[in-house]
Chain A
Amino acid sequence: MSRKVISVEDVSKLYRLGMLNSDMLGQDLKRWWHKARGKEDPFLKEAIANDRTTKSESEFVWALQDINFDVKQGEVLGLIGKNGAGKSTMLKILSRVTAPTKGQIKIRGRIASLLEVGTGFQPELSGRENIFLNGAVLGLRKKEIAAKFDEIVAFSGVEAYIDTPVKRYSSGMYVRLAFAVAAHLEPEILVIDEVLAVGDVEFQKKMSWKNARCFRTR
């Protein structure tokens, strides 16, 4: 039996709606005062379930409510749902961009997330410099990137422009380079948002091959 690598337990996430304005100061002070006395946050009770079609009085909404699931080693799990269902929120919490309001998530192994391709790309820097910077942002050590550098460049198919600032790249080239870095992360757990819908047909095939390989070896 393969062991659990992700365990999501009663995870809920609260978001505030509307504009951030001076009313908030009052609300913040009230929340703080309640917490300081060890009471529950008063606004948690007012919050409503996530339904984007009806407008409600409450300024708070539960994007996620009491989510539970496990992922075992070797499994591929997809989250599907309507717009605003909370898929990306779940992924943001999994990839530690934000914290859950309630509940907890336990993770085993090296995790990397791709919520967007090219995060941290610097337009002024060359493709070469950006490979290193982006790799480091995604959690690789410099020597790991150096070891995979040639493979990354070959995969991206932009060898000819590797010393050109990426602001001169076509949007396709930009994405190919960014994805090439991400594809070589080789983490134990990979969290992916809708980033795979990029590049031309040729590149799409290349990516699916790379992903298939990635999943098979885990």
Chain B
Amino acid sequence: MNSTTASSSVDTVTEEEGWDIILKPKNKWYNIDLKGVWQYRDLVMLLVRRDFVALYKQSILGPLWVLIQPLLTTILYAIIFGFIAKLPMGGTPPALFIMTAFIPWSYFADCISKTSVTFTGNAAIFGKVYFPRLVSPISVIISSLFRFGIQLILLAGLFIFYKFFNNAPVRIDYHIVFLPLLILILGGSGLAIGLIVSSWTTRYRDLGFLIGFIIQFLMYGSSVVIPYTTFKNHPRVMALLEYNPFVWIMEGFRKALLGTGEWSWFGILYAFGFMVILLFISVVLFSKVEKTFMDRV
């Protein structure tokens, strides 16, 4: 059999032959080993645990850093965009306004930046043992989700402080029941973008350097620290921002948690579709690259 006709790596083969695994030069594009990932679910959870335990060992404040980082960043952004630039935040205290979007945004950004080093960062272990490579980025998404959950407690604290001690005009909206959908879209898109970057950087590292800047640029255009209503007198900018699916996610978080953002079902379904397509492309690409990336990384 020669390589041009050989394809697909891990086919479960017909009964009469009874082979369990067939290794060939290439995968068929649709041959994605999700079943294998499921078989390795214990590894996923152990990696999540490892991320937690190993990260903050030997630091005095330990896991408190999960809270300190967003708090300090929020204060900084609140000073710049709230008090100095005086962007329109609908009467909401700037710190609360910004943190409500910044915490979910950091979850998204974490998902991208940590999954984008899947191949380059795990080369040592991937080079010595086989397990479905998707296990690694999926565990990153889950451990970031835990961190996100802890940060939501900080947000709740800030909310209580402003609402009950400063009478800020904020309220929790019934849209809060849809928050899991918004989080799913953020995690899914973050994973997808990370996988694409990871697949592209096995041979050429350039995109890896670029992605940090892209995430930052995207943050300024996603209604995180600069509310998109800032541009209401610039219809062209507004029109452009409306194409950014993450604007609707961030606005959604504000609507649900503060009652001030704009809840657009159209925008959220658009973001959901965006995530599905991106995930599909990224997983196909990732599965193609994972077969031989060890020869290039």
How many residues of chain A get a CB closer than 8 Å to chain B's CBs? 50
A120 to chain B, nearest CB (A): 5
Total of A-B residue pairs, C-beta within 8 Å: 121
Q: Does residue A132 face the partner (Cβ distance < 8 Å to B)?
A: yes
Give the CA-CA distance A139 to B129 in the complex, in Å. Answer: 10
Known: A25-B204, A136-B43. A99 touches B23 (CB 8 A): yes
Contact of B25 (CB < 8 Å), options: A101, A113, A137, A165: A101
Give A80-109 as 1s and 0s: 1 = Cβ < 8 Å from B's Cβ atoms. Answer: 000000000000111111111111111111
- 0/1 string, B53-67, CB within 8 A of A gives 1: 110011000000000
Q: Do the beta carbons of A104 and B50 come within 8 Å of each other?
A: no
Chain B binding surface, main DSSP class: loop
Residues in B27-49 with C-beta less than 8 Å from chain A: 40, 42-43, 45-47, 49
Q: Which single member of A109, A110, A125, A137 contacts B54 (CB below 8 Å)? A: A125
Specify the chain B residue showing the minimal Cβ separation from A12: B3
B125 interface hit (Cβ, 8 Å): yes
Q: Which of B13-21, B75-83, B240-248, B269-277 contacts A (4 or more CB under 8 A)?
A: B13-21
Rounded to whole angstroms, the CA-CA distance of A51 and B70 in the bound complex is 56
Report the Cα distance A106→B24, complex, angstroms.
Answer: 9
- Interface status of A198 (Cβ within 8 A of chain B): no
Chain A residues whose C-beta falls within 8 Å of the C-beta of B19 in the assembled complex? 7, 106-108
Rounded to whole angstroms, the CA-CA distance of A164 and B11 in the bound complex is: 43
Contact, CB under 8 Å: B21 / A106: yes
**A124 is an interface residue with CB less than 8 A from chain B:** yes
Interface centre among A15, A119, A132, A136 (most CB of B within 10 A): A136
Give the Cβ gap from A97 to chain B, nearest Cβ, in Å: 6
A111 at the interface (CB under 8 A from B): yes
A98, A115, A138 interface centre (most CB from chain B within 10 Å): A98
A28 touches B203 (CB 8 A): yes
- Which of A98, A100, A103 is within 8 Å of B294, CB to CB? A98
- Residue of B whose beta carbon sits closest to that of A41: B3
B22 touches A105 (CB 8 A): yes
Interface centre among A40, A107, A110, by most chain B C-beta atoms within 10 angstroms, is A107
Residue B69 at the chain A interface, CB threshold 8 Å: no
B203 touching A20, Cβ below 8 Å = yes
A10 CA to B22 CA in the complex, in Å? 13
Which of these, A107, A113, A137, A141, contacts B23 with CB under 8 Å? Answer: A107
Residues of B close to A104: CB separation below 8 A: 1, 6, 22-25
Check B130 for interface membership: any CB of A closer than 8 A: yes
Which of B20, B24, B50, B128 gathers the greatest number of chain A CB atoms within 10 Å?
Answer: B128
Contact: B3 with A102, CB < 8 Å? yes
Is A197 in the interface zone, CB < 8 Å from B?
Answer: no
Closest to B44 in A: A136
Whole-angstrom CA separation of A113 from B17 in the bound complex: 24
Expressed in whole angstroms, the Cα–Cα distance for A98 and B291 within the complex equals 6
B121 at the interface (CB under 8 A from A): no
User: Is A70 close to B, CB under 8 A?
Assistant: no
Indicate if the CB atoms of B50 and A122 lie closer than 8 Å: yes
Given contacts A106-B19, A108-B19, contact A97 B4 (CB under 8 A): no
* Docked CA distance A110–B39 (Å): 13
Q: Does A79 contact B (CB under 8 A)?
A: no
- Closest-by-CB residue of A relative to B24 is A104
Tell me, in angstroms, the Cα distance from A124 to B22 when the chains sit together: 37
CB nearest neighbor in B for A120: B125
A-B contact pairs, 20 of them (CB 8 A): A10-B1, A24-B203, A40-B4, A93-B23, A95-B129, A97-B130, A99-B291, A100-B25, A103-B6, A103-B25, A106-B19, A111-B21, A115-B129, A116-B128, A119-B129, A122-B50, A125-B50, A136-B43, A141-B42, A142-B45
Residue numbers of A with Cβ under 8 A of B are: 7, 9-10, 15-16, 20, 24-25, 28, 38, 40, 92-111, 113, 115-116, 119-120, 122, 124-125, 129, 132-133, 136-142, 165
Chain B interface residues (CB < 8 Å from chain A)? 1-4, 6, 9, 13, 17-26, 40, 42-43, 45-47, 49-50, 53-54, 57-58, 125-131, 203-204, 291-292, 294-296
9 shortest interchain CB distances as A-B pairs: A96-B130, A136-B43, A142-B42, A124-B54, A99-B291, A102-B3, A107-B21, A106-B19, A105-B23
| Given A140-B42, A165-B57, 18 further pairs, Cβ under 8 A | A24-B203, A28-B203, A92-B127, A97-B128, A100-B24, A102-B2, A104-B1, A105-B22, A106-B17, A106-B23, A113-B129, A115-B129, A124-B57, A124-B58, A125-B54, A129-B53, A136-B42, A142-B42
